[in-house]
Structure 1
Amino acid sequence: MIEAAGLTKTYDGGVRAVDALTLSVPAGELFGFLGPNGAGKTTTIKMLVGLLTPTSGSARVAGYDLQAQSREAKQRIGYIPDNPFLYEKLTGREFLDFIADLYGMPAGRPRAQEIDRLLEMLDLAGKGDQLIGSFSRGMRQKMAMASALLHEPKALFLDEPTVGLDPSSIRRLKDILRNLCRERGVAVFLSTHTLEVAAEICDRVGVFHRGKLVALGSPAELTHDSALGRLEDVFLALTESAAVGALIETELS
């Protein structure tokens, strides 16, 4: 469902943010993308949703190439960035109606019912007719989720979606993501710093550091293979050892 083959992004000055990433996330899998700040996670996601052009390599979603078949691929993608942009002068319901227009969804009762269903599911039923400008950070995150799910995407990308959410909302988000995978076969690509969330709900996780995938497997596999008891310990061991190795290499060169 989500495929990257040799995906690379090099910025001016030779900085390689993503280095030949090859990865596949099948339909129905909840994949956790873990890494420290500056690892290249957001750059990776932006290439996988078609917002950045890779320097080399390719990415496909639902069988469509992000460069050659951009329109078809993007119609099947839902994306929630780490700082989603919402139109503050629209009400929540007006914003979702606008998003539905962008995706070419037919107007009428079915659209209105789907908007009502999403507002209810995300605990926004009483807020749909309020201006988004009055929303809290958590409410904005929920509205961004509703807009990403409105057109029933085949692949859902989330970049730090738990920021601003209270514990109850985080629990609701986890349930929603698991249901999307189980009931609709959505491939979920979740970037998060909240390792407890990743350990609890992800089928597989990838640890990304300095533009490279340094570990891949289920949370149970990674903790078992490393003989460490928690995913947090595995994450710190992988990223800190990689940082030390890079420092040594720099000093020796």
Structure 2
Amino acid sequence: MQVLEKNVAVKLAIEVHGLRKVFRKRESLLRGQVKEEWALKGVSFVVQEGETYSLLGPNGSGKSTLIRILSTLLTQDGGEVRVLGYRLPQEERFLRRLMGRVSVDAAFYKKLSARENLLYAAQLYGLEPRAAERRAMAILERLGIESRRFNDPLEEMSRGMQQKIAITRALLINPPLLLLDEPTTGLDPKSRRDVQAFLEDLRREQGTTILLTTHDMAEAERLSHRIGFLARGNLVAEGTAEELKAQAGTEDLEEAFIVLTGEDIKEDEEQDA
């Protein structure tokens, strides 16, 4: 578990109050019936600057929806959200250059090389190409990718290597906030350790605020200052890993999740797979 340095003047990077999101699906074209599914049902939490905060929950718990709202890809149906001091969705245009996002299904131009994908992203951000390439190479080296692979097409790279490219792309602008939606899902053990170690170094060296969604208990316990348990669109508990285990009366974080949410995260994963 990470230990957050004490700071007299605590600043909040993320403020979420009563966040709600509903998805509407038309069940019958003839009758015009619409089914409502609430992905988020009044979620509230805050994340301090320089903190790593993890949201744990099974598939369908609302984790990805929450990340998409914070990254301005979705708008909420209720509640208040501030990210780095900016209100969403009213001030989203000021925010997009201040955060990086990595998802489990990161999109690329697979026929292009890692270098071409990253330089294209740098151009969109208005970065100077040579400086962006130097930064990309430095990040990839720390993530364990050899420089000789920089010109390989993405389609010839493993899932683990592609995810490292996605992390590099998100960090080209050196954002103060990083939103990570299950970034290590499906990675081999070495790639997972490489990414986790890099995230630890990033927060320690740069003071980057990280919001991480995952269903990997060990990953959350290793990286996080605080953890929130998300189930059925509700934040049912939060605290340090030790606080959550004490609240549940268990010695294991996964058991604490089951006790506090009433759900088995592994069973839900298999069901949704």
Q: d(CA) in 2 for partners of 1:39 and 1:143?
A: 27
Q: TM-score, normalised by structure 2?
A: 0.84
Contact 1:27–1:181 (CA under 8 A) maintained in structure 2: no
- Tell me which amino acid in the other structure corresponds to 1:227: G
Give the gaps of 5 or more residues in structure 1.
243-253
Task: Give yes or no for the alignment of 1:130 onto 2:152.
Answer: yes
Offset of residue 65 of structure 1: 2.0
Contact 1:174–1:201 (CA under 8 A) maintained in structure 2: yes
Contact 2:38–2:233 (CA under 8 A) maintained in structure 1: yes
| Correspondent of 1:211 among 214, 227, 233 | 233
Which residue of 2 is the match for residue 198 of structure 1?
A: 220
Contact 1:141–1:164 (CA under 8 A) maintained in structure 2: no
**SS in structure 1 of the partner of residue 175 of structure 2:** coil
Q: TM-score, normalised by structure 1?
A: 0.91
Identity %: 37
Which residue of 1 is the match for residue 141 of structure 2?
A: 120
Matches for 1:95-114 after TM superposition, within 5 Å:
95-108=117-130, 110-114=131-135
Contact 2:102–2:180 (CA under 8 A) maintained in structure 1: yes
Q: d(CA) in 2 for partners of 1:219 and 1:233?
A: 12
Offset of residue 11 of structure 1: 1.7
After superposition, the CA RMSD in angstroms is 1.7
Q: d(CA) in 1 for partners of 2:86 and 2:123?
A: 22
Contact 1:30–1:188 (CA under 8 A) maintained in structure 2: yes
Q: d(CA) in 2 for partners of 1:168 and 1:45?
A: 26
Q: d(CA) in 2 for partners of 1:114 and 1:241?
A: 42
- Tell me which amino acid in the other structure corresponds to 1:203: H
Offset of residue 33 of structure 1: 0.6
Which residue of 1 is the match for residue 103 of structure 2?
A: 81
**Runs of 4+ displaced beyond 6 Å:** none
Contact 1:36–1:239 (CA under 8 A) maintained in structure 2: no
Contact 2:248–2:260 (CA under 8 A) maintained in structure 1: no
Which residue of 1 is the match for residue 8 of structure 2?
A: none
Which residue of 2 is the match for residue 251 of structure 1?
A: none
Offset of residue 92 of structure 1: 0.3
- Tell me which amino acid in the other structure corresponds to 2:252: R
